[in-house]
Structure 1
Amino acid sequence: MYPPNQYIENDYSRLLSHIEKSPLASLIYQNTQGDIEICHIPLVLDENKQHLLGHMAANNPLAKQLAKQPLNIKCLFNGADSYVSPNDAEKVYLPTWHYAKLEVKGTAQPISEHSQKREIMAYSVAKFEDKLATQWLLSQVDENELSHSLKYIMVFRIEITEIVGNFKLSQDKASETREEIKQSLYARGDKDSADLIY
């Protein structure tokens, strides 16, 4: 089986936290010619953690296809990653790579009703602004200007059908070795990668 069982992350709260910390997703879908396409869009979880919400320019090829019908889609969320050297811990004998990756499968569909589009945009902005010391609100935009802008934006929702976490963090090593790796990553300033190790 690949990935090996020890690298499959099943803690649902940890998976959702990963999405919130690394919201820029690579959306993979099949176009009408049968080719695989990729586009990159930040996504947020809705309040019930059952859907992903996003928006894009209406002239994006994905938006044009989505306007015709709902679409099966895969979203890849890439978290921190790092090189691990044998110098990082006594019992690491060969170089390796740590990473935390997440795949979300679901069905995407557009939101066309103006008030819903506005509500989702405001919700998404608030999620990202919440991390800043001084927060900006969508309500600060003139209503006529916002209404005009929303005509050129597709807001969409992805119903989550499956989440698969692939977290390769030396889980096959002893806890003492993992702690050594963690401290080595902290020492070289890679806090995000170090924080992933548990």
Structure 2
Amino acid sequence: MYCPTHFQEEKPAELVGLIEQFPLATVIYQGDDGLTADHIPLLYEATPSGLGKLMGHVAKNNPLWQVAPEQELLLVFQGPSTYISPNWYASKSEAGKVVPTWNYAVVHAHCTLNAIHDPAQVLRIITELTDKNEAAQGHPWRVTDAPAEFTKKLLGNIVGISLEIKRWQGKWKVSQNQTQQNRQSVIEGLRSEDSDAQRQMALLVQSHATRSD
């Protein structure tokens, strides 16, 4: 991924934070028919050594779990993103030398995959994924809420996957290349739109205002 220095994000806590907030990964790999992309929600797990791993599951009919152990897969986690209007730049009134752009935050994780067939391990994965994503519900649904025989049958149709992170890269393109004056006016412009994505981007622009003017 092309990434100028001022957009690089290397802090593990920031990368993990984005993955946990936006867990739906685009998983790209070389399949029998060429490049293939699947979209799979994943759970980040820290490990005693290395960068950690990502846990999930796929249908048994999905060829993804059969990739060679040495094949590298690219996982893309897309965080907040939004259009930035030139009208929001304070410097527009000075010379008019402004153009539109798109702000975004993204993590690329390069991984190898290990398939998990043991029903107990697969059950643990779906239980942890469910508990994490149900946590905000008023009355969280639990895997144990479903009939045991029903769950057992479903387990027979899925395969667990464990993706070991070999390297990762973060890119936070959030107006760091703009002056302090333009960053502040972008924040105000984003807040005036009042959507979740734009509010999230306003916070990122504010927290990554690192350029020395």
TM-score by length of 2: 0.85
My pick for the range that moved more, 89-98 or 71-80, is 89-98
My pick for the range that moved more, 165-174 or 84-93, is 84-93
Q: Which amino acid aligns with 1:86?
A: P
Q: How many residues align structurally?
A: 194
Equivalent residue in structure 1 for 2:55, among 53, 56, 60: 53
C-alpha displacement at 1:179, in angstroms?
A: 2.2
CA deviations 1:149-194 (Å, max 9, x no partner) are 1010111110111110111111112233212211211110121222
* CA distance, structure 1, for counterparts of residue 164 and residue 117 of structure 2: 16
Query: Are 1:43 and 2:42 matched, yes or no?
Result: yes
Q: Which residue of 1 aligns with 2:114?
A: 109
* CA distance, structure 2, for counterparts of residue 134 and residue 178 of structure 1: 41
Q: Which amino acid aligns with 1:58?
A: K
Contact 2:83 2:100 in 1 (8 A): yes
Structure 1: give runs of 5+ residues left out of the alignment: none
Q: Which residue of 1 aligns with 2:130?
A: 125
Contact 2:174 2:201 in 1 (8 A): no
C-alpha displacement at 1:47, in angstroms?
A: 5.0
Equivalent residue in structure 2 for 1:196, among 200, 204, 208: 204
Percent identity between matched residues is: 29
Q: Which residue of 2 aligns with 1:30?
A: 30
Query: Are 1:82 and 2:82 matched, yes or no?
Result: yes
Structure 2: give runs of 5+ residues left out of the alignment: 93-97, 208-213
> RMSD of the alignment, in Å?
1.8
Q: Which residue of 2 aligns with 1:138?
A: 143
Equivalent residue in structure 2 for 1:178, among 173, 183, 204: 183
C-alpha displacement at 1:84, in angstroms?
A: 0.9
* CA distance, structure 2, for counterparts of residue 159 and residue 2 of structure 1: 23
* CA distance, structure 1, for counterparts of residue 25 and residue 174 of structure 2: 21
Q: Which residue of 1 aligns with 2:174?
A: 169
SS of residue matched to 2:185: helix
* CA distance, structure 1, for counterparts of residue 117 and residue 184 of structure 2: 50
Equivalent residue in structure 1 for 2:64, among 58, 62, 65: 62
